[in-house]
A = this chain, B = another copy of it.
Amino acid sequence: MADARFFSRKGPFSVAEIAALTETTPVNAPDETRVFQDVSPLQNAGGDILSFFDNRKYLDAFVSSKAGACFVRPEFVERAPEGMVLFVTKDPYRAYAKAATAFYPFETGTGIISDHAVIDPSAKLGKGVQVDAGAVIGANCEIGDGTIIASNAVIGDGVVIGAGCKVGANASISHSLIGNLCLIYPGARIGQDGFGFAMGPQGHAKVPQLGRVVIGNDVEVGSNSTIDRGAGPDTVIGNGCRIDNLVQIGHNVELGMGCVVVSQVGISGSTKIGNFVVLAGQAGITGHLEIGDGAKVAAQSGVMKNVGPGETVGGSPAVPVMEYHKQTVALSRLIRKKK
């Protein structure tokens, strides 16, 4: 289904292969050697296609789907259309992710260094590193095995990037240590000076920013997002974080493991964020705060004080989310009274 101009497909994969790969249980699958050619959403999947049903909202689409096979939760097995092969799992979307990755594997470095790349002789490149046209790699950089540096990306002097990473087109990185398996999207800016100066009527004196950006493994940094380096301490992004597009992360900010930061969020300087925190779109977090493990911040919230572990907050200024909903209701009642 995916446009062959842009995607090349592997496969086909048999029922047995898919079950092994995705750690799911095949049901209604008399022939384990039957193969599937591709993945697709439920609505437009045909008989040799593998799909998934995760969001209850799409139950109708599931019930009427012509997909040959589907990842599904145990409780929906009975609702499946006749003849559909089922791969039963508690987490159909994750199983789909694995299957889709088998059909469409992620890019890995080809080992080709473009003649039009500019690489300082002191830089150390691992095996299979791919450097595309116009990319610039500075002195003493270290780039791990299989990493891709895409066209016109700029890697500043001394930067260390682990194995299996991709740095997208026109991204720029300086003053940073980056782990393995990280995806830095096009136009991301990592490691430049933070917004630090001594304000005053005689002018705002720039303060040297002497820290770094330290990024763990398996981190994604979205397109045109910006992560400033630390002022003295480092800016730290923990393993497994997912940072969307156009996100701003100020100097000295620390993110724990597995945080999800949705598009256009801004995190001001020196705020510490725990593990598996979710910050929804366009939320803003003031500087020097602590946000506890597992906290959730609603879209467009303005967080001005610490948030405890597991708390969910919303509104601007942000309050516990139940309170925020009550405020919304109270406000709408208020105007109804006035009519």
Residue of B nearest to A51 (CB): B232
A208-B11 Cα distance, complex, nearest whole Å: 15
Residue of B nearest to A4 (CB): B158
User: Is A144 among interface residues, defined by CB-CB distance under 8 A?
Assistant: no
| Min CB–CB distance A88 → chain B (angstroms) | 16
Considering only residues 241-270 of chain A, those with a C-beta below 8 Å from chain B are 242, 244-246, 248, 250, 258, 260, 262-264, 266, 268
Residue of B nearest to A286 (CB): B299
B210–A258 contact, CB under 8 A? no
B175–A6 contact, CB under 8 A? yes
| Min CB–CB distance A112 → chain B (angstroms) | 13
Considering only residues 190-241 of chain A, those with a C-beta below 8 Å from chain B are 192-193, 195, 197-201, 203-208, 210-212, 218, 220, 222-224, 226, 228, 232-233, 240
Question: In the complex, what residues of B have CB within 8 A of residue A7's CB?
Answer: 210
Considering only residues 158-177 of chain A, those with a C-beta below 8 Å from chain B are 158, 160, 168-172, 174-175
| Min CB–CB distance A90 → chain B (angstroms) | 10
Given contact pairs A133-B118, A248-B246, A331-B330, A260 touches B204 in the complex (Cβ within 8 A):
yes
A233-B42 Cα distance, complex, nearest whole Å: 11
A94-B224 Cα distance, complex, nearest whole Å: 32
User: Is A150 among interface residues, defined by CB-CB distance under 8 A?
Assistant: yes
Report which A residues bind B (CB closer than 8 A).
1-3, 5-7, 39-41, 91, 93-94, 96-98, 100-101, 103-104, 106, 114, 116, 118, 132-134, 136, 140, 150-152, 154, 156-158, 160, 168-172, 174-175, 183, 185-187, 189, 192-193, 195, 197-201, 203-208, 210-212, 218, 220, 222-224, 226, 228, 232-233, 240, 242, 244-246, 248, 250, 258, 260, 262-264, 266, 268, 276, 281-282, 284, 286, 299-300, 302, 316-317, 319, 323, 326-328, 330-332, 334-335, 338
20 A–B pairs (Cβ distance < 8 Å), ordered by A: A3-B175, A5-B140, A5-B158, A94-B200, A98-B205, A100-B207, A116-B136, A133-B136, A136-B151, A152-B154, A152-B172, A168-B172, A170-B170, A187-B224, A195-B242, A195-B244, A203-B218, A222-B226, A299-B302, A330-B335
